Amino acid sequence: MVPGLKIDEDSDVPVYRQIVDGVRAALAEGRLLPGGKLPPTRELARQLGVNRNTVVAAYEALAAEGLVTSHTGRGTFATEPAEPSSEAGSAAFLAGGEWLTSFSRAVEGPGVAGLLSVYRAAMSSDGISFAGSYPAAELMPVERFRSALDAVLRRRGAEVLSYGPTSGYPALREAIAADMRSKGSSAAAEGILVTNGSQQAVELVFRTMLDRGDPVVIEEPTYTGALSVLSSLGARIVGVPVDEEGIRPDLLALALERHRPRVVYVQPTFHNPTTHVMGEVRRLEVLSLASRFGCAVVEDDWASDLRFEGADLPTLHAMDGGRRVVYISTFSKKLLPGLRVGWVAAPPAVLERLVALKQIEDHGSSPLLQAALHEFLADGGLAEHLDRVRPAYRERRDIMLNALKRRLPDGVVWARPEGGLFLWVTLPVGIDSTDLFVAARERQVLISRGELFHADGSGRETFRLTYASVRPAQIETGIAVLGELIHERWGGRSENAARRVDEAVPIL
């Protein structure tokens, strides 16, 4: 159906990439015309003898590139040129680049395509999105942040519009360190590096510590963005299952003994995606194991300020005195993602190298946004904002829990998080969350499918639902759609629910 498209099974080029290249070539050579319809993913998968998800990934990459457009219910079409003014550009855009056929291993790992597809799914503004772990846009302190920016520009405009120190705006580093100290950490401003969101912090930390082929221990499942970084670095991923208290210490000990990694990456509080919180005893066990095996613990603490119930627990960084723990956090989830401000606190030998790599990657983050954020924090803006969003998120969580209970069959289970932005759902046997994702997307409801949080493509019995950024009425509507779709697929086969318990994966 795409003339000339063939898959070479012996090629080193990933299959989805062969499909992308084949469609691009068909377009460039006029075998596929603008406006022409591409075969449905299921059909092309059958024709080529490949997994349907491979075709889905290829179509998503083509859509990202602007070469195809998907219309819900109608199918996927080769994009028509948009405007006459950019026609010449589009032609060159389509025709160019075929000469360059090989790239670095950093961009050819399997996790690279996965990240883009989950991101695009989450960004879609049509319909109801439970994908993406975003804070509520309508609760953002826009006015107050505008004032902070304005004040900073009036007071020290040229300074903050110039280059700043690579490690970060000094007053912001001090404010971050002071906040960490108020939570029991022994943090000093000189031990903080400001990054472009916690994604860059995760990337810099792993890149500073891992060479291609080096082992790294992660929780299974874990944050998609961490998996993508590890894929780009060619790290050898050793997944250790989590239970309701976080990473399992018995299996962690085995993994450390066997693989001797330099780094263990954990999210002790409101773990993404399971929402589990590591208990204090478990935290001590993890630190003790890390000490015994001489490895660093990377603590990704993106959500602990978003607790709306229950008691705070000390961070690993606070418990350890910052000796063995590299601590990562961000203002994206608790405040404003568009600032792109996160940070890492690390011991000096690590920090020195992180700053060097930050300098190499982008010469430092914008002093303007850092200065405005400092102004906002100094003025008490964050505390006020948290007072506003925490009850709102609790309310949305309750609305979602209530809707799930009413709309979903008994075999479906989920946890009740005490903070953060989302829920984690486990399906009964026989329902595949990737199928559910595709079906729900047709109904304009987006979820985060479980396999995105696993390095090995497992986790298809799970998915993640964000409540924080969805308005209450939409939560109700969206969960109703999911309920219908699950009922359609599963009917009342309640015996399966029991079977799931026997086959329980460690995350349950």
Q: Does 429 engage in binding with a copy of itself (CB under 8 A)? A: no
Structural contact between residues 166 and 364, judged by C-beta atoms closer than 8 angstroms: yes
Stretch that binds a copy of itself, among 3-11, 188-196, 304-312, 413-421 (CB under 8 A): 188-196
Structural contact between residues 462 and 424, judged by C-beta atoms closer than 8 angstroms: yes
| Residue 325: alpha-carbon gap to chain centroid | 22
CB of 134 to a copy of itself, least distance (A): 7
Q: Does 80 engage in binding with a copy of itself (CB under 8 A)? A: no
CB of 45 to a copy of itself, least distance (A): 21
| C-beta closer to a copy of itself: residue 409 or 420 | 420
Q: Which of 10, 85, 126, 311 binds a copy of itself (CB under 8 A)?
A: 85
The residues in 281-310 that bind a copy of itself, with binding defined as CB under 8 A, are: 294, 296
Q: Does 187 engage in binding with a copy of itself (CB under 8 A)? A: yes
Q: What is the largest CA-CA distance in the chain?
A: 68
| C-beta closer to a copy of itself: residue 238 or 350 | 350
- Number of residues interacting with a copy of itself: please give it, by CB under 8 A: 122
The residues in 260-279 that bind a copy of itself, with binding defined as CB under 8 A, are: 262
The structure tokens listed for 460 are 């298809």
CB of 2 to a copy of itself, least distance (A): 17
Identify which of 181, 255, 245, 186 has the alpha carbon closest to the alpha carbon of residue 218.
Answer: 255
Cα angle 449, 232, 97; round to 5: 100
| HEC string for 331-364 | CCCCCCHHHCCEEEECCHHHHHHHHHHHHHHHCC
H or E element in which residue 54 lies: helix 52-64
Identify which of 395, 455, 394, 372 has the alpha carbon closest to the alpha carbon of residue 146.
Answer: 372
The residues in 456-495 that bind a copy of itself, with binding defined as CB under 8 A, are: none
CB of 285 to a copy of itself, least distance (A): 19
Write the DSSP symbol of residue 260.
Answer: -
Q: How far apart are CA 434 and CA 489, in angstroms?
A: 13
Q: Which of 74, 100, 387, 504 binds a copy of itself (CB under 8 A)?
A: 100
The residues in 102-121 that bind a copy of itself, with binding defined as CB under 8 A, are: 102-107, 112-113, 115-116, 119
The residues in 308-367 that bind a copy of itself, with binding defined as CB under 8 A, are: 321-324, 332, 336-340, 346-353, 355-357, 359-367
Contacts of 376 (CB under 8 A, 6+ apart): 141, 144, 145, 148, 382
The residues in 122-181 that bind a copy of itself, with binding defined as CB under 8 A, are: 123, 132, 134, 137-138, 140, 142-143, 145-146, 149-150, 153-154, 157-167, 177-178, 181
Q: Which of 3, 35, 89, 380 binds a copy of itself (CB under 8 A)?
A: 89
- Binding string to a copy of itself for residues 214 to 233, with x set by CB under 8 A, is what? x----------x--xx--x-
H or E element in which residue 198 lies: helix 197-209
| C-beta closer to a copy of itself: residue 159 or 244 | 159
Stretch that binds a copy of itself, among 1-9, 209-217, 272-280, 422-430 (CB under 8 A): 209-217
Q: How far apart are CA 345 and CA 299, in angstroms?
A: 10
Q: Does 94 engage in binding with a copy of itself (CB under 8 A)? A: yes
The residues in 35-74 that bind a copy of itself, with binding defined as CB under 8 A, are: 61, 64-67
CB of 486 to a copy of itself, least distance (A): 29
Structural contact between residues 299 and 345, judged by C-beta atoms closer than 8 angstroms: no
Write the DSSP symbol of residue 307.
Answer: B
- Return phi, psi of residue 149, to 5°: -60, -45
Q: Which residue has the tokens 């497992």?
A: 458
Stretch that binds a copy of itself, among 2-10, 37-45, 192-200, 420-428 (CB under 8 A): 192-200
The residues in 392-421 that bind a copy of itself, with binding defined as CB under 8 A, are: none
Q: Does 200 engage in binding with a copy of itself (CB under 8 A)? A: yes
| C-beta closer to a copy of itself: residue 3 or 348 | 348
Q: Which of 298, 313, 368, 440 binds a copy of itself (CB under 8 A)?
A: 368
Cα angle 24, 125, 385; round to 5: 135
Omega before residue 221 within 30° of 0, cis: yes
